[in-house]
């Protein structure tokens, strides 16, 4: 393991007690921006996949 590797963003947000709030805001923003761009979102994965949230 690399000695310079720290925790990931989810760990930080969890420690601050705001992971769920930030996740909800991120999903809301993603859905809003997708709809503004003319796309449609059927469902959004609650877990990050490949470094980002994925519309499925």
In tens, the pLDDT along 1-56 reads: 566 677 788 888 999 999 999 999 998 988 888 777 776 656 555 565 555 554 54
Structural domain harbouring 31:
7-56
Q: How many domains are contained in the chain?
A: 1
pTM of the model: 0.53
Q: Is 2 a domain residue?
A: no
Q: Is 40 a domain residue?
A: yes
Structure-token pair, residue 54: 């994925």
Half-sphere exposure of 5 (CA within 13 A, CB side): 3
Structure-token pair, residue 44: 């959004």
d(CA 6, CA 4): 6
Q: Is 1 a domain residue?
A: no
């Amino acid at each position: 393991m690399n000695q310079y590797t720290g925790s990931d963003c989810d760990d930080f947000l969890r420690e601050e007690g705001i992971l769920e709030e930030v996740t909800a805001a991120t999903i809301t923003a993603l859905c809003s921006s997708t709809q503004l761009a003319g796309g449609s979102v059927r469902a959004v994965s609650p877990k990050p996949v490949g470094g980002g949230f994925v519309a499925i």
